[in-house]
Structure 1
Amino acid sequence: MLSLGSAGGKSAKPSFVSYVTPEEIKLTEKNASRGKHPELLPGEVVFCSASPILKYTQEDLSQQGIFGTLFCTNFRISFMPNEVSLEEAEERALLFKNKLYGENDIPLTGVDLIYAGYDEKRKLMTRGHVKKKYPPKIIIHCKDLRVFQFSLTFAEAEEAKKIFQSIVHCSLEPKALKCAFAFSYCEKATSSPEIQRKQRTMMFNIAEDWTEEMMRTKGNCKLIKDNENFSISQRLPQFFSIPAAVSELNLSDFQGKGIPIWCWSHPCGCALYKMASFPLMEDDDDSQARRRYMERMLNAVGENNLYAVKTEELSETLPNIQEIQQSYNKFKQFFLIDGTTEFWLSDVKWFSSLESSGWLDIIRQCLHKSVEIVQCLEKENRNVLIMEEESLDLCCVISSLVQMMLDPFYRTLTGFQSLVQKEWVAGGHNFLDRCNYLLKDKELQSPVFLLFLECVWQLLQQHGPAFQFTETYLTVLSDSVHVAMFSTFLFNSPYHRVSTTKAHTPQTQRSPLNLPSVWDWSLQFDCAAQDLFTNPLYTDSPKQESATAMGKSSSTKQQTRLSFPNSTVKQSPKKGFLREEKDSLKKRLRGMRISPWMQPMEFAQASTRQFYEAWWRQPLEANNLILPCLEGPAIRLWMQRYLRWIPQAQLYGGGPIAVLLKLADLTEEVRDLQAKLDRRTCPTAASHQRAATLPRPSVCPYTAFPFAPSHTSSSRPSIPTGVAQRLVITGSLSDKEDEAPVSV
């Protein structure tokens, strides 16, 4: 008689008893798993496999699971089920499939934590802790917030030990960059077709892209080409733009620091720059020379006193990378749910737990700082110079957000991708260190790029029609960061990228390796899936010959605002995030230590609030400026990304996707009626090009569409009996704080 162990729940009594011997189970599952093998990608090699392996479901007391074979390759951890029912096969055919890895696959660089499970206990696995013995269960937490639980009990002892050691070693042990799967894939894969020129994402690795961007924004800067071979500085990009008054003799001073790099130019003439600030060294003999050098740079940014210059040291008002990492570590724990019981226990203190992590408040602060800079450019017509120690983290976040608020081009799909290439990839963001692909230095790891995507999502959910792309696109992009095969996120700087690809080039090949870019979405999704990236409600901004800054006279027609903050959210002064300001004030008066960036935030100056309120009252300007609503209720949770793998948090036929599909239907109907009217008015006119429409699922989708399959529904009651009883025993429901269930 064989009793199946629990699936990570709290129950001590098994609910299922098998009268089949372990030997019979092993023999049956071994025969069923013969011939099961994952479809390997070019350059992918299987290290080891084990079967039969039981993959548990998320129901605590169900004792249910699926038998199959577990593989470990140089790219992923893959589970191949032995049998798939016809109903499940039809449901999976409707899913948002990724060509590189499936729903039962985990990229090695996407593994966050690994636990060894022993009955009701679990032990965190770290480097060098792989022993000869193996646990009966292995629990894997993924960076995309999926949770996998595998039972190794039924496999042969030697196979179970090898698969456990291989998974831990490949996922947790430090490795060299040459071991990244991107290099193996590139050597074996055929070259992908080039993107068409009319919809080309500018990579900003050639001088023509920078010239085109300066012409588009009418930037009054000069292009530097002398660093193409990194002869000036290895920390600067190959091509970049600087103020016209900056001498080229100053480029090599201070190892490339102190150079104002052009980001974007406003139609009124002012511009946004970023710069790596000098370290504070008061006793340095060169301090006077550095001050004089800094004065020359500021004068150059101000174009010889033609424009006033505002400098903004971001490290003084925004959290550093360590604080961002700590906050996100707390935040993500609320979504790594092992089972139903853990979900309902976390739901009791849901809102207060989210607030205590500080993650949403960091998002709010970044948006607020961006609004301040937008004010200087849009209203005050001043040049802005943002500074950071290396100008590679917060400078990338703030400069990108400012440009998205001011420039409608960056709210298109190709425009957004070009913005990421310019400010992040060519700008030298340390993707390799921040993502910690090589597992070498956790102190440098920080989700800075995810923070930027979070801020973009906040703008998207407040100004839906102003964006050509959808939140599904942002979710997929956040997942792609953890797949170490795209050159976009695999290096620390342009110099690192060029030198590494040349070093890995075979001797028979003269040109460097052409690693795939994340923007070639055909590598991951087919055309039908990519249709979900495009917003069917997107309305292009009106083309105007001239634009005037806010607060100045304008003859622009009164137009219907296409992008505006949610009118249902009322502005209430002195409101903290999810709590009143007085609650935070009481905490500070009690002597609690609160980090400056965690305190409730207000507008730093009255003029900033006046600027925001003036924009709120104005009709749509010709430049289509958008500003985020910063009040507490307006900063929301990115539900599609964080709740998509939790069955208990899904609503059947509800949520934002239901509203979007309905609006898309109405929009398509309006377009059809307009096309009929056009044909009647002008029968010989050419047919209009149809806008992108969302693919219609054959079944009513869940709130996590297109990621959640329809079989994720849970038969659990809205409030579990066990949790309700504990609440009643320990105290009345009215005494509990934040007991409202999560709203989806």
Structure 2
Amino acid sequence: MLSLGSGGGKQPAKPSFVSYVTPEEINSEKEPPKKERNPDLLPGEVVFCSANPILKYTQDDLSQRGVFGTLVCTNFRVSFISDEAQAEDTTQHFKNKLYGENDIPLMCVDHIYGGYDDKKKMITGPLLKNKYPSKIIVHCKDLRVFQYCLTYTDEKDAKKIFQGVVHHCLESKSLKCVFAFSYRAHKAEMQRKWRTVMFDSIDDWNQEMKRTKGTCKLVTENQSFELFERLPQYFIVPATVTEEDFQTAKKFNGKGLPIWCWSHHSGCALFKTATLPLMQEDALSQAYMEKMLTAVAQNHLYSVKTEDLGDTLPSLQEVQLSYSKFKQFFLIDNSTEFWMSDVKWFSSLENTGWLDIIRQCLQKAMEVVECLEKENTNVLIMEEEGLDLCCVISSLVQLMLDPYYRTLAGFQSLVQKEWIAGGHNFQDRCSHLHHKDKELQAPVFLLFLECVWQLLQQHSPAFQFSETYLTVLSDSVHVPVFSTFLFNSAQQRVHMITAESPHTQRGPLNCPTVWDWSVQFDSKAQEFFINPLYTEKPRVEKSTKKSHRPKHTRQLSLPSSAFKTPPKKGFFKEETDSLKKMLRVKRLSRWMLSPDAMPQASAHEFYEAWQRRPLDYHGMVLPRLDGPAVRLWMQRYLRWIPESQILGGGGVALTSRLTELQGEVRELLRRLEHQGRGLQHTDHHHTALALQPPLPPHPLLPRGRLSSSYPFTSIRNWSYKPVIPTSMLQSLQSLTDPDIMADKEDEFTETISLV
């Protein structure tokens, strides 16, 4: 209350005015200086629109604090350039050369929301005139969240930048509008140390067939895609498939034709195919399918097992719906929202079903591995198009059985073979062009990377690449610079890369592949891609190479004698007493007749038998699926949330300590070997460690306390707030409230007496 006067001798009244405006808000009311700046543009990058001043909010709380700067929209990205002088971070070794921490590639934008007072509305199309929000909230596909305030911007500039961002990020566009067609950088030669087999030539396929000792044949008649539009230029089929079969398959656009994926050292092989439409019930289609199954069976022991993945795995719509629910827990606008979601967080994640889909894919891949490894039978997996879940399962099977694909160069070659040359629909599945057909969208490739990460975190010494590599690869899918993940088919890729542009003088598309990592990172940053715990294969002395070996010398997995069963030479015939009758049912074999009983029990026995074998990281690796074995990929999903980071802990600290221990063990064994005693009593695994060189210093593990999200975060991005969950805050509040304490006095007394 204000005083009316000061009586004689009385003290002057104290002012009673209280300000409810924070100093930050007082300062922000001042009109900031208007000075527009542009980012360092890439070759071929053009600025569409810009606005200044724009306030970029911080993510720490609801106080609406931030920094002023210029918001720019180009044909490559949405970029924010701060007006404040940024101090150079000399400790940052992991920096992308194409875009910075305040840049959003246009293909990386997932959703845009408009802020109207305290409400948030998703922007789905052009708005009415004069209905522009005061805030723009951008959710990215790499799970970053950006908030821009338009309050301090001139109305004309605010409308212009809002229209520009919405139009170039969300509106449907043609493929020629993607920045890759404007990028004018010189195409650098790929680094030889991580040479990737591109599978775009006859030699690449012949070398792969020779490496795996396959007995199939290479098809080269599809170079111009006149034979099959949906199949790549070069592919491999069973040796008994004839030219007449190709002509029949041409009537079905290549569907039903078994495409070779990989050969086991025992002689059996893995194939994949697209199923014929359900209405194809005529005699021609049945005879065609019968002949294709016979061709697969004749590859080895006249045996084959088939599996329709559409019957036993979730549909693409279910995958998309599950991931859409899952990612919402990581698209956090501010720290308050993060703590509010703390209650039942893990159970909520589980209810989305995303982790269960990962578990199902790993389970299915392990069942295929069991058929190849234990039963020595050919396997034919199929789905509607043969380009989605078939790619996931076939790639996982090869990772589990073939150690070459667990190296960095081998893994990149696997992606090239099964996904790029195989014709996965990256353009539609990843929504690169923002088409409105939601049924075509599904994060299938991300699902595969999730499964690979589960194998990596369970069997880290078996993989040469790190989880940072997988995280960067998942981000690179949405960078519109590379041709690798840009197209829907091999035919579209070849046509768009070689065809002349009718509108410009640029000529054919000349952009790098994503495997040329020097475009994004320098040599020091690329060292983060290497797993420091990887166990190199020991070099065998020349004197031991002359020892007798069995016929198949490529030791990709455990000796088949561990699971030896009588070969089922008549399996295919016994299963197909009446092949025409069998073809009328959806499932072509009795492999998965009891999905709730036999397969899980059989897979468990197979896993237990594998665990009893000697440790061999260059043999077969199988995933654990029970209990909490399937975990959350924390680096990818929590790296942008400061409150979730563990200072000095997490996987980085664990990897650092394991690396030190592994180095000490190697040094001790090396000393024992030098002294000539004790080494003969060590087992095979210790001998392999002793023969390896000492672990070199690794930039992934520098000294000091690091964040669990390293190398994607730095100290200046950390939040120093007390990390107290919401539930604990409520408990502390109840303990400090006298009224609540009085009501719960009896309860506390009873609890103490029980203790």
**Fold agreement, TM-score > 0.5:** yes
Q: How far off is 1:281 after superposition?
A: 1.4
After superposition, the C-alpha distances for 1:537-586 in whole angstroms (9 at most, x for unaligned) are 1113467836497575479xxxxxxxxxxxxxxxxxxxxxxxxxxxxxxx
Corresponding position of 2:420: 425
**1:668–1:290 Cα change, 3 Å:** same
Structure 1 residue 133: Cα displacement: 3.8
1:636 aligns with 2:631: yes
Aligned to 2:144: 146
Question: Kindly tell me: are residues 150 and 698 of structure 1, through their superposed partners in 2, closer, same or farther at Cα, counting changes over 3 Å?
Answer: farther
Provide the C-alpha distance between the structure 2 equivalents of 1:713 and 1:602, rounded to a whole number of angstroms.
48
Q: Counterpart of 2:571?
A: none
Deviation at 1:717, TM superposition (A): 2.7
Q: Answer with 369-378 or 342-351: which moved more.
A: 342-351
Deviation string, structure 1 residues 218-239 (Cα, Å, up to 9, x no partner): 0101111110111201101000
Is the alpha carbon distance of 1:688 and 1:43 closer, same or farther for their aligned partners in structure 2, counting shifts above 3 Å? same
Distance in 1 (CA, whole Å) between partners of 2:51 and 2:399 is 49
Rate the CA distance shift 1:344–1:199 in 2: closer, same or farther, 3 A.
closer
Deviation of the 1:482 alpha carbon? 1.1
What amino acid does structure 1 have at the position aligned with 2:31? I
Bigger radius of gyration: 2
Are 2:316 and 1:317 aligned? no
- Asked whether 1:458 is paired with 2:463, we answer no
Structure 1 residues 280 and 721: CA distance shift in structure 2, 3 A: closer
Specify the SS of the correspondent of 1:488.
coil
1:288 counterpart letter in structure 2:
A
3-state SS in 1 of match to 2:599: coil
Residue number among 161, 164, 167 corresponding to 1:163 in the alignment: 161
Answer with 113-122 or 245-254: which moved more. Answer: 245-254
Gaps of 5+ in 2: 1-18, 541-548, 564-591, 677-691, 735-739, 748-755
Cα distance in 2 between the residues matched to 1:297 and 1:509:
47
Task: Note if contact 1:344-1:723 (Cα within 8 Å) is conserved in structure 2.
Answer: no
Distance of 1:13 and 1:95 partners within structure 2: 43
Shift of 1:17: 6.1
Query: What does residue 76 of structure 1 align with?
Result: 77
Whole-angstrom CA distance in 1 between matches of 2:440 and 2:561: 49
Partner of 2:566: none
Identify if the C-alpha distance between structure 1 residues 723 and 168 changes in structure 2 by more than 3 Å, giving closer, same or farther.
farther
Structure 2 residue 242 is matched with structure 1 residue 257: no
The residue number in structure 2 matching 1:15 is 22
Quick check: 256-265 or 689-698, which moved more?
689-698
Given that residues 368 and 630 in structure 1 are in contact (C-alpha distance below 8 angstroms), is that contact kept between their aligned partners in structure 2? yes
Could you say which residue in structure 1 is the equivalent of 2:682? none
Distance in 1 between residues matched to 2:94 and 2:52, nearest whole Å: 28
Distance 1:648 1:78 in 2: 25
Superposed counterparts of 1:298-337, under 5 Å:
298-303=293-298, 306-337=301-332
SS of 1:706's equivalent in the other structure is coil
Shift of 1:130: 6.1
Deviation at 1:486, TM superposition (A): 1.3
Q: In the alignment, does 2:472 pair up with 1:471?
A: no
Q: Which amino acid aligns with 1:52?
A: P
Q: Give the match for residue 562 of structure 1.
A: none
* Range moving further from structure 2, 392-401 or 437-446: 437-446
- Other-structure match for 2:576: none
Q: Distance in 1 between matches of 2:505 and 2:161?
A: 36
Distance 2:646 2:276 in 1: 52
> Is 2:56–2:67's contact at 8 Å kept on the other side of the alignment?
yes
Partner of 2:31: 25
Question: 2:717: which partner in 1?
Answer: 712
Asked if the contact 1:652/1:701 (under 8 Å) is kept, the reply is yes
TM-score norm. by structure 2 comes to: 0.82
1:59-74 to structure 2, matched below 5 A, reads 59-74=60-75
Deviation at 1:254, TM superposition (A): 1.2
How far apart in 2 are the matches of 1:660 and 1:416? 22
Tell me, in whole angstroms, the C-alpha distance in 1 between the residues paired with 2:371 and 2:343. 43
> Which of 477, 483, 496 is equivalent to 2:492?
496
User: In the TM superposition, what whole-angstrom CA distance separates every residue of 1:153-177 from its partner, at most 9, and x where no partner exists?
Assistant: 1122111111111001111100000
1:350 maps to which of 341, 345, 348: 345
Distance 2:413 2:185 in 1: 25
| Per-residue deviation, 1:721 | 7.3
Q: Of 288, 294, 302, which aligns to 2:283?
A: 288
Partner amino acid for 1:364? R
Change (3 A) 1:345 1:127: same
Partner residue in 2 for 1:340: 335
Counterparts of 1:72-471 in structure 2, within 5 Å, are 72-84=73-85, 86=87, 89-90=88-89, 93-94=91-92, 96-129=94-127, 131-185=129-183, 188-196=184-192, 199-251=194-246, 252-281=250-279, 284=281, 287-303=282-298, 306-440=301-435, 441-471=437-467
Matched, 1:725 2:730: yes
Q: What is residue 587 of structure 1 aligned with on the other side?
A: none
Aligned-pair identity in percent equals 59
C-alpha deviation, 1:663, in angstroms: 2.9
Q: Which 10-residue stretch deviates more, 287-296 or 615-624? A: 615-624
Between 639-648 and 62-71, the greater mean CA deviation after superposition: 62-71
What is the identity, as a one-letter code, of the residue corresponding to 2:45? E
**How far has the Cα of 1:680 moved from its partner?**
11
User: CA separation in 1, counterparts of 2:353 and 2:136?
Assistant: 31
d(CA) in 1 for partners of 2:124 and 2:393?
A: 35
Q: Contact 1:55 / 1:150 at 8 angstroms: preserved in 2?
A: yes
SS of corresponding position for 1:348: coil
Task: For structure 1, list consecutive stretches of 5 or more residues without a partner in the other structure.
Answer: 1-11, 556-596, 682-686, 736-744
Contact 1:535 1:692 in 2 (8 A): no
Determine the C-alpha separation between the residues in 2 that align with 1:49 and 1:509.
28
The question of whether the paired residues in 2 share the 8 Å contact of 1:274 and 1:387 is answered with yes
**1:155 is paired with a residue of what secondary structure?**
coil
Cα 1:710/1:656, change in 2 over 3 Å: same
Q: Distance in 1 between matches of 2:649 and 2:699?
A: 16
Displacement after TM superposition at 1:713 (Å):
2.6
Q: Kindly state the Cα deviation for residue 120 of structure 1 after the two structures are TM-superposed.
A: 1.5
Cα distance in 1, alignment partners of residues 531 and 28 from structure 2: 55
Q: Scaled by the length of structure 1, what TM-score is found?
A: 0.83
